[in-house]
Amino acid sequence: MVSEKRLNIGVLNVQGAVSEHAEFVRSLGDNVVLVKHPEDLDQIDGLIIPGGESTTIGKLMDKYQLSETVREKANKGFPLFGTCAGLILLADEIEGNEKAHLQLMNITVNRNSFGRQRESFETLLAVNGVAEDFPAVFIRAPHIVEFAADVNVLSEYEGRVVAAQQGNLLVTAFHPELTEDMRIHRHFRQIVDNYKKAQQ
Ligand code: GLN
């Protein structure tokens, strides 16, 4: 599908699965901006925070002075999509005395919640309003252990919340960018499109 009006969607480019997300954005007909510095954020209508290692990504976001600007923008409705480590970065709290990062979404997360034996696996999941059969790839994935009343749970796996949305903030514990299924990215695109229209 090539959209009528291209959106400018950023992919945080400090560590992790950057190129796969960028490819999906392009495939949906939009422009990709690889975001490393605060001024890159001026050019985009929404930002994807990829999977990788959340502690590293958080440190690099601070180093490049991105954290504060991303937080300010997101508090005013700017859309963010966090996958895996990206989910951890958005959370208000991380279980186990670990300092949280952006603290934007009213969720508490457990890092690495699927154990060593199951470090990575793939399964089909229903994602509310998006897909009945989404191929979810989990890699040392977190899950959401607590969430505020206005957090919309989109998907659960074995009783654990693994995808959710709170207004402009979308998160998945799994990696849609490592499949060929663009339905969740298309859902994010819709959030970005609505945000952009509301700005005009
Ligand atoms: N477990 C990693 C972390 O805590 C996330 C893994 C991933 O993004 N694939 O950052």
Is the shortest distance between the CB of 112 and ligand 1 below 6 Å? yes
pLDDT of residue 110: 97
pLDDT of residue 190: 98
pLDDT of residue 5: 87
CA 50 / ligand 1 centre spacing (Å): 10
Task: Pick the closest to residue 48 from 75, 24, 65, 68 (CA basis).
Answer: 24
Say which CATH class 8-199 falls into. alpha beta
For strand 131-139 and strand 120-127, is the pairing parallel, antiparallel, or unpaired? Answer: antiparallel
173 in Cβ contact with 141 (< 8 Å): yes
pLDDT of residue 84: 97
pLDDT of residue 4: 62
Regions in the chain scoring below 70 on pLDDT: 1-4, 116-117
Is the shortest distance between the CB of 84 and ligand 1 below 6 Å? yes
Task: Pick the closest to residue 138 from 122, 159, 125, 154 (CA basis).
Answer: 122
- Alpha-carbon distance of 114 to 71, in angstroms, equals 29
Alpha-carbon distance values, 91 to 2, 78, 100, 118, 164 (Å): 33, 16, 7, 23, 11
Domain boundaries, the chain: 8-199
pLDDT of residue 115: 72
pLDDT of residue 116: 66
> What's the pTM value of the predicted model, to 2 decimals?
0.96
54-75, pLDDT tens digit by residue? 999 999 999 999 999 999 999 9
Residues composing the chain: 200
pLDDT of residue 48: 98
